[in-house]
């Protein structure tokens, strides 16, 4: 494998891995803040126990998100130094501001939240959790501002072969970034909601603290339905915008080759070995125009026409991304999203019917719905990042020109193997801990300690 391929594999694997933890941090953080607010407002100790229960799972997940996030910041310089030189003027700023404005907030206040239960007032403690949740979601905005520039560069000029910022406002208001942000926030809430639904079902089936888990089930069903529909709508709006600013990416996601008006929509397709040619498909006439324009006419540019157009603009080359990958990741993401809408509706119905015993009894297998958002999140990012290829910054710099020229393949292979090994081990440990605490159910007392054999539990009566 050459240096570009190895660097791309490392970046892809470490980013996908990092993004296993991020959406749950974004979504679950808000749920924990809501639960703690309910505790403060109602004074009902059951909400405190719920806050601590979901909070502990939040923390286990959070730790993984933080440590894998540092890798992201280092990698641009380590593996993509020519990219960093080219866009540093623009790309570095949101990363630095993310740290200064969001990550400091999140990390510092999380420390207070974990250790401050008895040091600060209840209200302040709940406010601290809100700051943690807001900090996390603000982080996402800054990161997506940086990513938005790679998708759709705005507010810049090229000076001496480097991109220079000319308008910070344009960078912050980049519609591509705003759509990404909205979609990511909804995806985070969806991930949090399904995580809570899944583990609430686990305990409802076993009749552990049914009253408490009915509360979180109801909350997650309500938020989850709104969030997953929001993710769908924002995703659709994003796709409409994508067709305008990254038509090749949009065409690849639909395996749409010939510019047409009206354009047919491919429901299912099989590709040849190159992944760039369709060998068999089923199409619905005019449907693609309808998806983009909400009427049965309207031009949609195709891959082949865009390829010819790009060769004219940028010189000879292959400007077609791996169509099969984008086409299928898109379909998996949307398919899973629709399934989640149905499941969220079902959850609503169950809560509305007041959790009938005969249904709950047979719902144990539904714990697996926890994985659905992860599938959608991962395929969504693979689509976003690969449909942009061969560009690292759309129209400005190709991925193959972005690598660190002085880093050897042996070096990258070393770090790639190192990351894969340690990430695999940590995934095992993380899942083990998450499952252990998720299955254990609500904490009995007020202590956060996991006591060793022979250590006495707290004598003070706290909680229930």
Partner 1 sequence: MDLNILWFILIAVLYTGFFFLEGFDFGVGMLLPMISKKDVERRAIINTIGPHWDGNEVWLIVAGGATFAAFPHWYATLFSGFYLGMFLLLLALIVRGVALEFRSKIANPNWRFGWDWAIAVASFLASFLLGVVFTNLVRGVPIDASMQYTGKFTTLLNPVSLLGGLAVVFVFIFHGANFLSLKLSEGPRVKAFNAAVRNFPAALIFAVGLFAALYFTGSAFSDKGALTLVLPLLAAAALVLSRVLGSQKKEVWAFILSSAAVVFTVAAIFIALFPNVMISSTDAANNLTIYNASSSPYTLKVMSITAAIMVPIVLAYQVWTYWVFRKRVKADVTKLTY
* Residues between 117 and 136 that touch partner 1 (CB under 8 A): 119-120
Task: Based on the shown chain and the rule CB under 8 A, indicate whether residue 424 belongs to the binding site for partner 1.
Answer: no
Task: Based on the shown chain and the rule CB under 8 A, indicate whether residue 457 belongs to the binding site for partner 1.
Answer: yes
Distant-in-sequence, close-in-space partners of 245: CB < 8 Å, separation ≥ 6? 151, 152, 176, 394
Q: What residues between 73 and 92 interact with partner 1 by CB under 8 A?
A: 73-74, 76-79, 81-82, 84-85, 87-92
- Name the segment binding partner 1 (CB under 8 A); options: 32-40, 57-65, 200-208, 349-357: 57-65
- Name the segment binding partner 1 (CB under 8 A); options: 214-222, 226-234, 315-323, 418-426: 418-426
> Which of 208, 341, 433, 463 forms a contact with partner 1 (CB under 8 A)?
433
Task: Based on the shown chain and the rule CB under 8 A, indicate whether residue 2 belongs to the binding site for partner 1.
Answer: no
Task: Based on the shown chain and the rule CB under 8 A, indicate whether residue 463 belongs to the binding site for partner 1.
Answer: no
- Name the segment binding partner 1 (CB under 8 A); options: 108-116, 250-258, 273-281, 286-294: 108-116
Task: Based on the shown chain and the rule CB under 8 A, indicate whether residue 100 belongs to the binding site for partner 1.
Answer: yes
Peptide bond connecting 262 to the previous residue in cis, omega within 30 degrees of 0: yes
Spatial separation of the C-alpha atoms in residues 289 and 71, rounded to whole Å: 41
Taking alpha carbons only, the member of 68, 67, 64, 70 closest to residue 428 is 64
Closer Cβ to partner 1, 44 or 164, answer by number? 164
Spatial separation of the C-alpha atoms in residues 256 and 234, rounded to whole Å: 22
Task: Based on the shown chain and the rule CB under 8 A, indicate whether residue 444 belongs to the binding site for partner 1.
Answer: no
Task: Based on the shown chain and the rule CB under 8 A, indicate whether residue 453 belongs to the binding site for partner 1.
Answer: yes
Spatial separation of the C-alpha atoms in residues 103 and 86, rounded to whole Å: 25
* SS3 state of residue 8: helix
Task: Based on the shown chain and the rule CB under 8 A, indicate whether residue 461 belongs to the binding site for partner 1.
Answer: no
Tell the smallest beta-carbon distance from residue 117 to partner 1 (Å): 8
Tell how many helices (H) and how many strands (E) occur in the chain.
Answer: 15, 6
Task: Based on the shown chain and the rule CB under 8 A, indicate whether residue 411 belongs to the binding site for partner 1.
Answer: yes
Q: Are 135 and 112 in contact (CB under 8 A)?
A: no
Closer Cβ to partner 1, 272 or 448, answer by number? 448
Binding mask 357-396 for partner 1 (x = CB under 8 A): ----------------------------------------
Q: Which residues pair with 280 in a beta bridge?
A: 270
Task: Based on the shown chain and the rule CB under 8 A, indicate whether residue 108 belongs to the binding site for partner 1.
Answer: yes
Structure tokens at 287: 């449907």
Q: What residues between 139 and 168 interact with partner 1 by CB under 8 A?
A: 159, 164-166, 168
Q: Where are the alpha helices (DSSP H) in 173-278?
A: 175-205, 210-245, 247-254
Kindly compute the dihedral angle of the four CA atoms of residues 49, 50, 54, 55, in this order, to the nearest 10 degrees: -50
Task: Based on the shown chain and the rule CB under 8 A, indicate whether residue 71 belongs to the binding site for partner 1.
Answer: yes
Q: How many residues contact partner 1, by CB under 8 A?
A: 80
Structure tokens at 434: 């998450």
Task: Based on the shown chain and the rule CB under 8 A, indicate whether residue 439 belongs to the binding site for partner 1.
Answer: no
> Which of 6, 28, 110, 383 forms a contact with partner 1 (CB under 8 A)?
110
Phi and psi dihedrals of 347, rounded to 5?
Answer: -65, -40
Q: Say what angle helices 323-352 and 175-205 make with each other, to 10 degrees.
A: 50
Distant-in-sequence, close-in-space partners of 206: CB < 8 Å, separation ≥ 6? none
> Which of 12, 13, 16, 66 forms a contact with partner 1 (CB under 8 A)?
66
Tell the smallest beta-carbon distance from residue 403 to partner 1 (Å): 9
Task: Based on the shown chain and the rule CB under 8 A, indicate whether residue 313 belongs to the binding site for partner 1.
Answer: no
Task: Based on the shown chain and the rule CB under 8 A, indicate whether residue 414 belongs to the binding site for partner 1.
Answer: yes
Q: Where are the alpha helices (DSSP H) in 80-174?
A: 81-97, 104-115, 122-151, 168-172
Tell the smallest beta-carbon distance from residue 411 to partner 1 (Å): 6
Task: Based on the shown chain and the rule CB under 8 A, indicate whether residue 63 belongs to the binding site for partner 1.
Answer: yes
Task: Based on the shown chain and the rule CB under 8 A, indicate whether residue 401 belongs to the binding site for partner 1.
Answer: no
> Which of 93, 221, 340, 372 forms a contact with partner 1 (CB under 8 A)?
93
- Name the segment binding partner 1 (CB under 8 A); options: 98-106, 219-227, 353-361, 375-383: 98-106
Long-range CB contacts (within 8 A, 24+) of 73-78: 75/10, 75/11, 75/14, 78/404, 78/407, 78/415
Tell the smallest beta-carbon distance from residue 139 to partner 1 (Å): 11
Phi and psi dihedrals of 174, rounded to 5?
Answer: -50, 115
């Amino acid at each position: 494998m050459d240096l570009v391929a190895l660097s791309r594999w490392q970046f892809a694997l470490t980013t996908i891995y990092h993004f296993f933890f991020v959406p749950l941090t974004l979504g679950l953080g808000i749920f924990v803040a809501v639960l703690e607010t309910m505790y403060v407002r109602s004074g009902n100790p059951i909400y405190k126990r719920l806050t601590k229960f979901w909070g502990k799972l939040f923390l286990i997940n959070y730790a993984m998100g933080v440590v894998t996030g540092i890798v992201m910041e280092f990698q641009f310089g380590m593996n993509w130094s020519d990219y960093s030189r080219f866009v540093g003027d623009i790309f570095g700023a949101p990363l630095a501001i993310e740290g200064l404005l969001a990550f400091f907030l999140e990390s510092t206040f999380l420390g207070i939240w974990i250790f401050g239960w008895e040091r600060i007032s209840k209200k302040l403690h709940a406010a601290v959790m809100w700051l943690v949740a807001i900090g996390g979601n603000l982080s996402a905005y800054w990161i997506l501002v940086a990513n938005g520039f790679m998708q759709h560069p705005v507010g810049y000029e090229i000076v001496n072969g480097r991109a220079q910022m000319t308008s910070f406002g344009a960078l912050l208001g980049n519609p591509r970034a705003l759509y990404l942000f909205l979609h990511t926030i909804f995806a985070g809430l969806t991930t949090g909601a399904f995580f809570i639904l899944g583990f609430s079902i686990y305990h409802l089936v076993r009749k552990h603290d049914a009253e408490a888990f009915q509360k979180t089930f109801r909350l997650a069903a309500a938020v989850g339905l709104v969030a997953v529909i929001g993710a769908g709508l924002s995703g659709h709006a994003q796709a409409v915008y994508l067709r305008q600013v990254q038509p090749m990416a949009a065409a690849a996601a639909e395996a749409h080759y010939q510019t047409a008006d009206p354009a047919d929509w491919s429901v299912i397709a099989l590709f040849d070995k190159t992944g760039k040619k369709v060998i068999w498909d089923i199409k619905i006439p005019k449907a693609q125009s309808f998806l983009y324009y909400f009427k049965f006419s309207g031009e949609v540019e195709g891959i082949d026409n865009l390829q010819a157009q790009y060769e004219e603009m940028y010189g000879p080359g292959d400007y077609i991304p791996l169509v099969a990958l984008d086409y299928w990741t898109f379909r998996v993401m949307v398919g899973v999203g629709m399934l989640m809408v149905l499941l969220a509706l079902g959850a609503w119905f169950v809560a509305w019917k007041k959790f009938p015993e005969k249904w709950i009894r047979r719902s144990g297998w539904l714990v697996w719905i926890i994985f659905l958002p992860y599938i959608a999140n991962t395929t969504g990012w693979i689509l976003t990042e690969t449909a942009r290829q061969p560009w690292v910054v759309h129209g400005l710099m190709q991925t193959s020109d972005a690598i660190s020229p002085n880093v050897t393949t042996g070096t990258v292979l070393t770090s790639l193997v190192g990351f894969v090994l340690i990430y695999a081990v940590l995934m095992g440990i993380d899942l083990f801990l998450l499952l252990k605490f998720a299955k254990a159910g609500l904490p009995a007392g007020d202590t956060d300690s996991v006591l060793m054999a022979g250590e006495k539990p707290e004598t003070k009566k706290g909680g229930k």
